Chains A and B, each alone.
Chain A
């Protein structure tokens, strides 16, 4: 987390540089865009040393084929789109961010879309500047757990067989294919992120009645097992 903050600090500097060079997009304001990006930050890292999280890191995303980074489990839909020639640039990101599911049906990005044209322009301006840095050497490597409430469960090697059984309850809503049609995709997440999310529901840091109920009776072994199981699934 500290590392990510540092990365962002540096990228804010880069953003200003980009602005002064006049390469910011269509009047987008990177400083405003950084605020917009706060909604993306729980899944995406950007800036020097960024790693994969629930979503892939976004360093050097401009000019890159969609779904092409090593070490991240993209949806089949996004990989297909990339193979068909989708390359991220200001225009394609703009269409995608407006309604992700409409542009790439089957993407597992659990984000309904951003309707405001100005917000998107600002976000893209921010991203273009912030993504210029180099990612971590091994962006897929699991980060060390922080000193936090779920740390115990994060250090348990979950039993995938138990996880598969417990997951029966989850997959009534969360599709094991990784599709997100109104309920978030939870496949292929890093273990730490998965465990943290469940603890945040359990302790009501994330407010959601169903998830609070579901997590209330889950112990550390069970949470670790679920993280292991869903982490092992490949998005379709």
Chain B
């Protein structure tokens, strides 16, 4: 597969070089071209739906820096020992083989909006008629003073799945009884709102299963409240009494910074030392969105709620965590839902196919302890200002354990469903 994608890329690079001399050569081909930047829940879904539903009438290229994709969703279940790393890692083989998508394993460095070309890190240029930008998030490293990309080797963020996830798992397994884990959670808006708290639950589960109940997990939160708070706090009390402590800004008074050498987090109230420190910094849209001039002052990309089209460029759509999607949380489910709306609009633009009114949905499952799953979900519709929630639900406290177990098992079914919806059905 690697060699195949390389070869594909070789062709692109060659063609791109030729295009400098003969710009009309590439434009002369029959099929309209869609380029998708980012092969995650948003980008890969969009590529698959555009290719599948246009039945080959549109030429689709998917640019992704990594040859394999490890999902951030369910990576907490890997930390908790419920999933293997391999089971949350996916290839692009099916998208290339069964959907005719040109998968380019490389990094998109810039977008030349004037020329309608994506500029690759090696200088190659990939022309498009419509561009889908789905780069996920980047970190604002200095949102936590003392934190940096280098510091993440000592205090992993693990908020992009891959080597960071494995690093965090190693460090978690090395924690001894009585030692402390400190988490610094991010301010809004960020990827996967309940994620940090599910992660704290998985930390506690590992420690508890080793009998390390003298250990504590301290969560230092810049927010006054968090997603599914009542459900998590009830669950921590029930499963891990005395092990998980959450401190909001009223208690810690402000997070002053971290010292990776000493393994400490300084707050207004106290300095916390952790055998493991997990820092999840503030976030912004992925770098390419900034380079392409698609972001607003808050670091994310404004879109048209009807279509996911960038308000900055009518030929570009922005999906997933990088987009300002109104009431929708930054989640894989949201990105997958948005991708289908964008795909329909891209086809409408290029082939004149019918465009139905946009519908969006999201559900987020979280695991608190073995067989204790909870969920929150909503449906959304475009309004003049934003994508607005129309109806929603959340799991209740004091639910029947059988229902919690069913919710967990449902989440496994969802993972199987959404990953085959994103990457195509494997095998």
Q: Are A213 and B412 in touch, CB under 8 angstroms?
A: no
With both beta carbons as reference points, the residue of chain A lying nearest to B394 in the complex is identified as A209
**Nearest CB of chain A from residue B383's CB, rounded to whole Å:** 15
Q: Which residues of B contact A210 (CB under 8 A)?
A: 363, 375, 377, 393
A209 vs B391: C-alpha distance when bound (angstroms)? 11
Given A209-B377, A213-B378: A179 and B416 interface contact (C-beta under 8 Å): yes
Q: Is A182 an interface residue (CB 8 A)?
A: yes
Q: Is B388 an interface residue (CB 8 A)?
A: no
Q: List the one stretch of A19-27, A91-99, A127-135, A170-178 in contact with chain B.
A: A170-178
A165 vs B36: C-alpha distance when bound (angstroms)? 21
Q: Are B414 and A173 in touch, CB under 8 angstroms?
A: yes
A171 vs B420: C-alpha distance when bound (angstroms)? 9
**Nearest CB of chain B from residue A48's CB, rounded to whole Å:** 35
Q: List the one stretch of B159-167, B244-252, B333-341 in contact with chain A.
A: B333-341
Select one of A162, A179, A213, A236 contacting B356, CB under 8 A: A162
Q: Is A17 an interface residue (CB 8 A)?
A: no
Q: Is B312 an interface residue (CB 8 A)?
A: no
A138 vs B200: C-alpha distance when bound (angstroms)? 57
Given A162-B356, A169-B361: A175 and B416 interface contact (C-beta under 8 Å): yes
Q: Are A180 and B377 in touch, CB under 8 angstroms?
A: no
Q: Are A180 and B359 in touch, CB under 8 angstroms?
A: no
Select one of B359, B413, B421 contacting A182, CB under 8 A: B413
Given A161-B354, A210-B375, A213-B391: A173 and B337 interface contact (C-beta under 8 Å): no
A165 vs B340: C-alpha distance when bound (angstroms)? 9
Q: Which residues of B contact A40 (CB under 8 A)?
A: none
Q: Is A168 an interface residue (CB 8 A)?
A: yes
Contacts of B407-427 to chain A: CB distance below 8 A:
409-414, 416-418, 420-421, 425
Number of chain A residues close to chain B: CB under 8 A: 26
With both beta carbons as reference points, the residue of chain B lying nearest to A106 in the complex is identified as B427
Q: Is A156 an interface residue (CB 8 A)?
A: no
A210 vs B420: C-alpha distance when bound (angstroms)? 20
Q: Are A172 and B379 in touch, CB under 8 angstroms?
A: no
**Nearest CB of chain A from residue B339's CB, rounded to whole Å:** 9
A168 vs B50: C-alpha distance when bound (angstroms)? 13
Given A171-B417, A172-B333, A181-B416: A165 and B356 interface contact (C-beta under 8 Å): yes
Chain B 341-383 per-residue mask, 1 if CB under 8 angstroms from chain A, else 0: 0001000000000101001010100000000000101110000
Q: Which residues of A contact B363 (CB under 8 A)?
A: 173, 210
Chain A 177-195 per-residue mask, 1 if CB under 8 angstroms from chain B, else 0: 1011111000000000000
Given A165-B344, A172-B333, A217-B390: A182 and B379 interface contact (C-beta under 8 Å): no
A175 vs B354: C-alpha distance when bound (angstroms)? 24
Q: Is B177 an interface residue (CB 8 A)?
A: no
Q: List 29 A-B contacts (CB under 8 A).
A: A166-B359, A169-B340, A169-B359, A171-B417, A171-B421, A172-B336, A172-B337, A172-B418, A173-B413, A173-B418, A175-B416, A179-B416, A179-B425, A180-B413, A181-B417, A182-B409, A182-B410, A182-B411, A183-B417, A209-B375, A209-B377, A209-B395, A210-B363, A210-B375, A213-B378, A213-B391, A214-B379, A216-B379, A217-B390
Instruction: Give the top 3 A-B pairs by smallest Cβ distance, nearest first.
Output: A182-B413, A183-B413, A181-B416
For the A-B complex with A175-B425, A213-B377 known, give 20 more contacts whose Cβ atoms are closer than 8 Å.
Answer: A165-B344, A169-B359, A169-B361, A171-B417, A172-B333, A172-B336, A172-B337, A172-B361, A172-B414, A172-B417, A173-B413, A175-B416, A180-B413, A181-B412, A181-B416, A182-B412, A183-B417, A212-B393, A214-B361, A217-B391
